[in-house]
Structure 1
Amino acid sequence: MTLSRAIDLLTFRNKQFPVLGLLFFFGLLLPLVADNYILRAFSIFYIYVLLGAGLSIVVIYAGLLDLGYIAFFAVGAYTYALLDQHFCVPFFISVPIGLLNAAIFGLVLGFPTLRVRGDYLALVTLGFGEIIRVLLVNIWGPHGITGIAPPLSLNTVGGAENLYKLFYIITFMTIPLGFLLLSRIERSPLAQAWLAIRDNERAARSCGVNSLHWLLLAFALGTAFAGTAGVIFAGIQRYINPSSFILDESILILSIVVIAGGTSRGRLLVAAGLLCLMPEVLRDFANYRLLLYGVILIIFVIGEEKLKGIKLSRAHNAAGQSSLNMQLQKPGIMPSGLVRHSNDNGWNLKVNHLTVNFNGVAAINDVSFSVELAGRIIGLIGPNGAGKTTLFNCIAGENQQFAGSISFPGMKGRHSPFMSARCGVGRTFQTPQLFESMTAFENIAVSSIAQSDIPIIGSLCGSTRWTSFSNKEKEKINEIVRYLGLTEVSDMKVNSLPLAMQRLIEIGRALALKPRVILLDEIASGLNSSDKNQLTQIIRQLCKQTSVGFLIVEHDMDFIMPLAEEILVIDAGEMIFRGSPSEVKANQGVIDAYLGGTNVIP
């Protein structure tokens, strides 16, 4: 990283220099003109900015509601207090120890609790925060620990009158460092993975993203911020007690993140200022302080929501106008990374005695088949409720509650969706499952994360190779975009695109996995005849030129019959027939299952 680039990041010259750059230089000059009271107030303010930055990783990026975040702040604070009291460990050595200790606590909490989501996760983290507080009271008492050493001795800083300047400098310098880390996260594949999980965890797992792994990483990084802030807090307070780590503090930090409303560091500073500095500014109005404080917050939040509504309305209107004439384009040049050699091995899917029950009802009943999929298009049809999607979900790893076995190259037995994806199985969904906060290009790029071993340290602290997708990776994604005719919409948010393009983006996401087989779940549903013809051309071309196989669930007989070379027919959870399209059309059992009579399937 060049010196000029580092300065740009630290002063946010790229996007927010007029505001954040001036605030940065104001912060440098403040110790020269402010008294100890103001310096202490700003020191506490910076600690809460750091806490808000850490919680934003968990809440904004990963989409997890953590109501016990203050517990990790306590872990950092008590880590330094105990190290100082019992082992005389210096402050600056205690900082990385407190950081690591809080991150370990985050992993220990996250591993069992991240299997739940939403309100349940909020309740679990809330309980964890209260458990930590009660433990602190019972082990070290309600009065906590006193006599903690300051970061530097009085002799070193030139006397007690300079301590508050020291406290200020230490807390102030954590902000550009913390914001630098947030900036690198924002530009890295880490953020892409977290945002994908936040938007649609089901789709992220189908792209090869191990959601538990990535969410644990978010938890660990977020709690590391809290641990660092805790060590600094203990050093400048010089005493700590459990009353500093109550639920109200968790709610305060969460409020900072909510008011900030995103990843903007400038907004984080404003939110923390409103909640931490404003009470000090209004202290002279003691009788009306809380009233004025509440009114200011209400005005800010309501105004912000109205502004968001205006922006969203304008975005939807613009998207609506631009999508009126959108049509699918003819396929472009086949992506070079997808071309297979002539000696490519086969890909055989084996399903043995598969049985799936939902509340005692058999959705799949003792189904067995073996089918070669490499370079072939296989259809899977059946009436509504026959069990087609249930079978798909078992193959893709979404449903692991079954009897029997499923195996394919690289995988035997039960498996998760991200494991299937990494074995070369891509898929689409009945209703498109996209990452709505991302563009078409970014949606497809998520699958490339699973194909790369991302070194976390390099991504956050060092190598620019991992601060964003490399040019080579971007070009591979652009090849897929061009092939599918999505170039004109690659930078548009996917929720503004028509259904046909959304389905193509799902196919593009599957192609970015470099798949051996793609499972298409009612891909033609809702499309007009022109779009279906375009889709048919893409599927046939991929199958012929890349030997990618397709297993297609479909109700549209006019679409699947000319396309597939073999059809599997399921009815009431049982395999009733398999054969060529012409044989399926003539089979009386299939006709009865579909139409209940002697009519012929078109």
Structure 2
Amino acid sequence: MRGISGLTGLLDSARVKIPSLAVFAVVLLAFPSIADEYWTDVGVKVLLYVVLGLGINVVVGYAGLLDLGYSAFFAVGGYTTAILVGNYGVNWWLTLPIAMLVAAIGGYLIGYPTLRLRSDYLAIVTLGFGEIVRVTANNLEFTGGPDGVILPFRPVLFGYELAGTQSMYYLVLVIALVVGLGATSLTRSKIGRSWESVREDERVAEAVGVPSIRVKALAYVVGGVIAGVAGAFFATYIGIVSPTSFTFLTSVLILLVVLIGGRGSLVGVFLGALVVQGTPEVLRSIGDEWRIFLFAVVLIVLMFVRPLGLWPARTRRGARLAQSAEEPPLPEVGVAPGEPLLEVRGLTMRFGGLLALNDVDITVGRGEVLGVIGPNGAGKTTVFNCVTGVVRPTAGKVVLGGESLIGRHPHQVVQRGMARTFQGARLFSDMSVVENVLVGMTARMNSGVLTSLLRLPAQRREEQRAGRQARYWLDFVGLSDKATRFARELSYGDQRRLDIARALASNPLVLLLDEPAAGMNPSEKADLMELIGRIRDRGVTVVLIEHDMAFVMGLCERVLVIETGAKLTEGSPYEVQQDPRVIEAYLGVDEDDEGDEDADGDLGAGPDDTTAPTLTKGQ
């Protein structure tokens, strides 16, 4: 065990002691000149698996979509190039974008219909897709059937045919570097953050503004494009494309590149490819039987020593906190302060035979703080879910600033100016604090795939502005000193504040807080009340669900009471406290306690009182 610990420490310390990129560059460039033909060929195969690893790293490592049929995209790219070159004599360079396009279409066709599946089901579907592509290629005439398609010549560059192993090594090296740079650009943009957020918690990602279905489809498309490039190179390097090159084992080996190297790690992909393709060649001298056995042992030991991979993703995640802050202006809306901003009419929700909400009406004025109270199971969170598009109500209307929200997905609701938190602080725990806030800005960012891939000036400016606004929101909630920590490392109170900061990052008109004070001590609750007051003062309308009556009565201008899915009453905190129906149904006053009420029949909390009773029933 001491040896294992020493190896682990050595790998970790290498990050600091070795200028990785410079060493990699020198070794990779010099390798063909110091290696013979055989080892140069091994180097070509390693780099080919680097390209494939970069592609599946997008799908599995970043987006978290388990793909057991990735060799299908590899095959599509290879066959496209082989057929165009071998059957029609098309220049190899012209087949490259076509192979990428066809593989991207394949990625979309397999990706979009399966994006609502999870874990095992998704893996089975992708496995089936991989086998369908291989069997189809084995049985079609224009793909050459079992014999495949032969490519009669190799690419020509500036009149020089790339025929030798050394020239093909440099070609695949350039491809790997270009793909690596492109993948790095994407993963460090809003697209990469969106992939990671979907991997962490898809429901929450959608609720904070990430279009999860579109983001996952994009991961398949990008992964398909990269596999198409790899397939096009493979076809011209081997000189023949046949079904035996794209088996299930190929998909497993590509997946191992990411698992061994480190999921979501670009450097890890290089190391994983080196292990997967290099180790069997190093062991070849001991014979095939023992070689395969020892290779399996090496894999097991590596997974035991480095369960997160040889080079795990960043030990301290992501974007640095900007030096200066920039306050985003509140979105414009044609509603004056105090006028109705959010209107809910006849909201009804049935789950089968269960009537969860029954004809609920809510009106929230702009700049108001509205409290929603009621026993557990009354339907309060269901109201939030219906309003924000998490579930579609059976009947009713939801209008924000004059625009209907019925039928819109949660990320579209965020785009139109409504954000929410959940009962528990559901953060992206393996992302940093500042990255969590940046994910919350996704709905307000416009950079697409091409601008992010090329890091065009407009995209860089948008990222810089997002960084300054993230700084503002972290300063606003008091978390700027913890910006680079993992979200999971924060205390419970700080996690709740980060949850609010992430919701505010979408710059909403209306903020829905679901039990924000749950689990907090009195000091943290006082700080939270002050924070919500500052949110209201900034012009944001707040609707909150809370069980702590002192918190609600001391903060809200108006209180709405829900019981068994229907609105019981609403009014000022004082009026709600005096309502006999609330006293009976919510506060749980027993007959023996009736004599303890004040002479005027209230609960001891008049309009001038500074405290209010805490919930005693239904918590």
State the TM-score bracket (shorter-chain normalisation). 0.7 to 0.9
Q: Tell whether 2:141 aligns with 1:148.
A: no
> For 1:343-362, what aligned pairs fall within 5 Å after superposition?
344=336, 346-362=339-355
Q: Structure 1 counterpart of 2:492, which letter? A: L
**Residue pair 1:334, 1:483 contacting (<8 A) in 2 also:** no
Select between 382-391 and 283-292 the one with higher mean Cα deviation.
Answer: 283-292
The aligned residue for residue 453 of structure 1 is 446
In 1, the alpha carbon distance for the partners of 2:483 and 2:558 equals 35
Select between 167-176 and 513-522 the one with higher mean Cα deviation.
Answer: 167-176
Q: Tell whether 2:477 aligns with 1:476.
A: no
- Residue 375 of structure 2, aligned match among 376, 383, 403: 383
Alpha-carbon displacement from aligned partner over 1:113-156 (angstroms, at most 9, x marks no partner) = 11222222111111111111121112135424233133336996
Question: Matched residue of 2:513: which SS?
Answer: strand
The aligned residue for residue 10 of structure 1 is none
**Residue pair 1:337, 1:476 contacting (<8 A) in 2 also:** no
> For 1:100-119, what aligned pairs fall within 5 Å after superposition?
100-119=101-120
The aligned residue for residue 490 of structure 2 is 497
Distance 1:483 1:120, change over 3 A: same
TM-score by length of 2: 0.85
In 2, the alpha carbon distance for the partners of 1:128 and 1:310 equals 29
The aligned residue for residue 300 of structure 2 is 298
> For 1:404-443, what aligned pairs fall within 5 Å after superposition?
404-409=396-401, 410-443=403-436
The aligned residue for residue 323 of structure 1 is none
**Residue pair 1:340, 1:547 contacting (<8 A) in 2 also:** no
Q: Structure 2 counterpart of 1:580, which letter? A: S
Deviation at 1:429, TM superposition (A): 0.9
The aligned residue for residue 539 of structure 1 is 532
Q: Which structure shows the higher helix fraction?
A: 1
In 2, the alpha carbon distance for the partners of 1:116 and 1:339 equals 36
Q: Structure 1 counterpart of 2:293, which letter? A: L
**Residue pair 1:146, 1:240 contacting (<8 A) in 2 also:** yes
**Residue pair 2:71, 2:130 contacting (<8 A) in 1 also:** yes
The aligned residue for residue 444 of structure 1 is 437
Select between 349-358 and 215-224 the one with higher mean Cα deviation.
Answer: 349-358
Q: Identity over aligned residues, as a percent?
A: 35
Deviation at 1:275, TM superposition (A): 1.2
Question: Matched residue of 1:288: which SS?
Answer: helix
**Residue pair 1:36, 1:164 contacting (<8 A) in 2 also:** yes
Alpha-carbon displacement from aligned partner over 1:522-559 (angstroms, at most 9, x marks no partner) = 1111111111112112222322x332111111111111
In 2, the alpha carbon distance for the partners of 1:52 and 1:432 equals 34
In 1, the alpha carbon distance for the partners of 2:156 and 2:117 equals 47
The aligned residue for residue 49 of structure 2 is 48
The aligned residue for residue 132 of structure 2 is 131
Alpha-carbon displacement from aligned partner over 1:327-379 (angstroms, at most 9, x marks no partner) = xxxxxx99463498998464432323322222411111232x14133110111
Select between 223-232 and 172-181 the one with higher mean Cα deviation.
Answer: 172-181
Select between 282-291 and 459-468 the one with higher mean Cα deviation.
Answer: 459-468
- Residue 548 of structure 1, aligned match among 505, 521, 540: 540
Q: Structure 1 counterpart of 2:150, which letter? A: G
In 2, the alpha carbon distance for the partners of 1:485 and 1:197 equals 26
Q: Structure 2 counterpart of 1:282, which letter? A: L
In 2, the alpha carbon distance for the partners of 1:154 and 1:494 equals 50
Deviation at 1:596, TM superposition (A): 6.1
TM-score by length of 1: 0.88
- Residue 584 of structure 2, aligned match among 582, 592, 600: 592
**Residue pair 1:69, 1:125 contacting (<8 A) in 2 also:** yes
TM-align CA RMSD? 2.9
How many residue pairs get matched?
Answer: 568
Select between 224-233 and 212-221 the one with higher mean Cα deviation.
Answer: 212-221
**Residue pair 2:433, 2:486 contacting (<8 A) in 1 also:** yes
Deviation at 1:211, TM superposition (A): 1.1
**Residue pair 2:392, 2:406 contacting (<8 A) in 1 also:** no
Deviation at 1:572, TM superposition (A): 0.9
In 2, the alpha carbon distance for the partners of 1:310 and 1:124 equals 28
The aligned residue for residue 231 of structure 2 is 230
In 1, the alpha carbon distance for the partners of 2:160 and 2:362 equals 77
In 2, the alpha carbon distance for the partners of 1:108 and 1:334 equals 42
- Residue 578 of structure 1, aligned match among 570, 578, 585: 570
The aligned residue for residue 330 of structure 1 is none
Alpha-carbon displacement from aligned partner over 1:315-338 (angstroms, at most 9, x marks no partner) = 9xxxxxxxxxxxxxxxxx994634
**Residue pair 1:154, 1:163 contacting (<8 A) in 2 also:** no
Deviation at 1:192, TM superposition (A): 1.4
In 2, the alpha carbon distance for the partners of 1:85 and 1:74 equals 15
Deviation at 1:92, TM superposition (A): 0.9
Question: Matched residue of 2:493: which SS?
Answer: helix
Question: Matched residue of 1:305: which SS?
Answer: coil
The aligned residue for residue 517 of structure 2 is 524
Deviation at 1:20, TM superposition (A): 4.3
Deviation at 1:82, TM superposition (A): 1.4
Distance 1:336 1:525, change over 3 A: same
**Residue pair 1:79, 1:98 contacting (<8 A) in 2 also:** yes
In 1, the alpha carbon distance for the partners of 2:255 and 2:468 equals 39
Distance 1:457 1:388, change over 3 A: same
Q: Structure 2 counterpart of 1:404, which letter? A: G
Q: Structure 1 counterpart of 2:259, which letter? A: V
Distance 1:131 1:445, change over 3 A: same
Alpha-carbon displacement from aligned partner over 1:190-213 (angstroms, at most 9, x marks no partner) = 211211221122222222111112
Gap runs ≥5 in structure 1: 1-12, 316-332
Question: Matched residue of 2:342: which SS?
Answer: strand
**Residue pair 2:357, 2:379 contacting (<8 A) in 1 also:** yes
In 2, the alpha carbon distance for the partners of 1:55 and 1:310 equals 16
Distance 1:353 1:117, change over 3 A: same
> For 1:71-86, what aligned pairs fall within 5 Å after superposition?
71-86=72-87
Distance 1:494 1:96, change over 3 A: same
